[in-house]
């Protein structure tokens, strides 16, 4: 009976281990470069010549292959662990080198295995790798003379498994802890409330998170995260006024607010599926109808979360005339194709690839033509007594598109005339100003109405 039990247990273990791994067998049509296998997308990045060939497979109907010296990265939609792969070479003595390479999600080379091509000539041989956390795979080889001495490398039946992208925050720290390191990342409450770790009634392990009703802190780590869900337990659920789970972005703005029924989590832990993306801080928000006389409790534990992959983004700009971007270049025309890689700029430590989306608007220009007598005070505050065609004045934001408007003065100054009107008259004379002068005693002139 004991032997039967052990045999069944062994079969169960073998079955379980088998279910954890997949085999990429490349059994797609000749020339395929992207396809779906094991329920996941696969593709080469087309930097080289890799695709599927349908002759001499290890098993099935196809295998992977590249041209000597022209190699692409093979990737799927998540990090994988690669246990091993089958290789076959031809003309092995003409290889310059044969390397298998693994890259992480940041594109950084993390594995580089140098092989002897002679070990895989004429018949497929298995290469044990046991790589962990690989995002892309590459074969790298060449010939001593690709034109006259071509070589081939066939690869097939890659054994791999998917790396769980989910981390579990289990709060298994000493009673009262408010800041700690878990899953290799720092975690802490911001102390605006009463949250800390308690060590009774955990969902699993030795601890859970807890706050006092009405006094809640934000729980944060060192990067934005995606939260898949969390386990909750309530006590005295009928005395809750409300129960909300809240998610905040890196600016502190509320972006998620899930309202829950406390009765759903009384007497036993219940799982809340959230599927939040890009969260920097998490909070439980609840209270009692009477905290003094009817206190309530909310326990939370085992939060499932993951860190996002390499970041990409667009820097949208509208500028006048020219703009100097983070790449150091000054652009005088609109541009939506320039990119700049910020090394380690993503929240998870990967690079951040930024694309510029720049619209260049141009300042307006015009001429203010004036003809004035003697002098003129212009919009620049200066008084001109002579003609001028070179003075300029910039009206900030004066153009219809919001850019500046540069105005040039074209001023003509005309000067007033002066002269003497000499008249010889008898008795009286009415002049152009409407006044009449008449002779009065002693030959004195006198104005007369």
Cα 47 to Cα 144, 150, 181, 249, 387, distances in angstroms: 22, 20, 40, 36, 67
Q: What is the pLDDT of residue 335?
A: 94
d(CA 22, CA 9): 22
- Note the pLDDT tens digit of each residue in 349-371: 567 788 999 999 998 988 999 99
Residue 308: pLDDT band (50, 70, 90) is low
The architecture CATH gives domain 20-162? Sandwich (2.60)
Burial label, 423 (beta-carbon count in 10 A; 0-12, 13-18, 19+): exposed
Count of other CB atoms within 10 angstroms of residue 324: 10
Token representation of residue 126: 């298995």
Average pLDDT over residues 268-273: 95
| Domain boundaries of the chain, sorted by first residue | 20-162, 167-306, 311-359, 364-414
Average pLDDT over residues 252-272: 95
- Note the pLDDT tens digit of each residue in 182-192: 877 899 999 88
In a 13 Å sphere around the CA of 316, the CA atoms on its Cβ side amount to: 0
Query: Of 330 and 167, which is predicted with more confidence?
Result: 330
Residue 100's H or E segment, with its range, is strand 95-103
- Mapped onto helix, strand or coil, the DSSP state of residue 15 is helix
Q: Which residues pair with 247 in a beta bridge?
A: 256, 282
Structure letter (DSSP) for residue 164: P
- Note the pLDDT tens digit of each residue in 407-433: 999 999 998 888 888 888 788 888 888
Asked whether the predicted pLDDT for residue 406 surpasses 70, the reply is: yes
Average pLDDT over residues 89-108: 92
Q: What is the pLDDT of residue 436?
A: 82
Q: DSSP per residue over 174-192, as a string?
A: -TT--EEEETTEEEEE-SS
Q: What is the pLDDT of residue 164?
A: 64
Residue 348: pLDDT band (50, 70, 90) is low
Average pLDDT over residues 153-177: 90
Beta strands in 120-269 (DSSP E): 125-143, 152-162, 167-169, 179-182, 185-189, 196-198, 208-210, 219-235, 240-248, 254-259
Q: What is the pLDDT of residue 334?
A: 95
d(CA 64, CA 155): 5
Q: What is the pLDDT of residue 329?
A: 94
Residue 69: pLDDT band (50, 70, 90) is very high
Residue 79: pLDDT band (50, 70, 90) is confident
Nearest alpha carbon to residue 312 among 356, 251, 355: 355
Q: Answer for the pair 216, 244: CB distance below 8 angstroms, yes or no.
A: no
Asked whether the predicted pLDDT for residue 437 surpasses 90, the reply is: no
d(CA 253, CA 273): 21
d(CA 26, CA 156): 7
Average pLDDT over residues 341-356: 73
d(CA 197, CA 244): 19
Same topology between domain 20-162 and domain 167-306: yes
Q: Answer for the pair 217, 194: CB distance below 8 angstroms, yes or no.
A: yes
Cα 332 to Cα 108, 127, 323, 328, 400, distances in angstroms: 35, 54, 7, 13, 19
- Note the pLDDT tens digit of each residue in 190-208: 988 999 999 999 999 999 9
If you average pLDDT over every residue of the chain, what do you get? 88
Query: Which CATH number does the domain 167-306 belong to among 3.90.1310.10, 2.60.40.3080, 3.90.1150.10, 2.60.120.200?
Result: 2.60.120.200
């Amino acid at each position: 009976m004991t032997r039967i039990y052990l045999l069944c247990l062994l079969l169960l273990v073998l079955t379980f281990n088998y279910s954890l791994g997949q085999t990429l067998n490349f059994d797609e049509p000749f020339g395929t470069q992207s396809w779906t296998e094991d329920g996941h997308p696969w593709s080469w990045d087309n930097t080289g010549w890799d695709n599927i060939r349908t002759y001499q497979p290890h098993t099935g109907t196809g295998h992977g292959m590249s041209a000597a010296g022209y190699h692409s990265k093979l990737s799927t939609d998540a990090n994988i662990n690669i246990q091993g792969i089958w290789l076959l070479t031809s003309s092995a003595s003409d290889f310059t080198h044969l390397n298998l390479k693994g890259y992480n999600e940041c594109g950084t080379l993390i594995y580089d295995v140098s092989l002897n091509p002679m070990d895989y000539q004429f018949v497929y041989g298995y290469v044990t790798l046991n790589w962990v956390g690989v995002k892309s795979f590459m074969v790298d080889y060449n010939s001593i003379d690709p034109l006259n001495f071509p070589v081939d490398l066939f690869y097939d039946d890659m054994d791999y498994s998917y790396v769980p992208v989910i981390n579990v925050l289990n709060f298994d720290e000493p009673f009262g802890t408010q800041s700690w390191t878990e899953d290799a990342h720092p975690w802490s409450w911001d102390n605006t409330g009463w949250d800390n770790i308690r060590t009774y009634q955990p969902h699993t392990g030795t601890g859970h998170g807890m706050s006092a009703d009405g006094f809640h802190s934000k729980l944060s780590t060192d990067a934005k995260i995606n939260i898949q869900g969390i386990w909750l337990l309530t006590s005295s659920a009928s005395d809750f006024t409300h129960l909300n789970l809240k998610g905040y972005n890196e600016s502190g703005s509320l972006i998620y607010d899930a309202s829950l029924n406390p009765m759903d989590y009384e007497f036993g832990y219940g799982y809340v599926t959230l599927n939040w993306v890009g969260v920097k801080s998490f909070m439980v928000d609840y209270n009692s109808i009477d905290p003094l006389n009817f206190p309530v409790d909310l326990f939370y534990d085992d939060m499932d979360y993951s860190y996002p992959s390499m970041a990409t983004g667009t820097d949208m700009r509208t500028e006048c005339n020219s703009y100097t971007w983070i790449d150091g270049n000054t652009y005088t025309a609109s541009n939506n194709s320039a990119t700049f890689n910020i090394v380690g700029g993503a929240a998870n430590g990967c690079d951040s690839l930024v694309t510029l989306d720049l619209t260049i608007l141009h300042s307006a220009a015009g001429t203010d033509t004036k003809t004035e007598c003697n002098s003129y005070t212009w919009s620049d505050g200066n008084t001109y007594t002579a003609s001028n065609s070179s003075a300029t004045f910039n009206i900030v934001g004066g153009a219809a598109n919001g850019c500046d408007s540069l105005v040039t003065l074209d001023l003509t100054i005309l000067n007033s005339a002066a002269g003497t009107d000499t008249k010889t008259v008898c008795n009286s004379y009415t002049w152009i100003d409407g006044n009449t002068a008449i002779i009065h005693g002693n030959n004195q002139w006198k104005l007369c109405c």
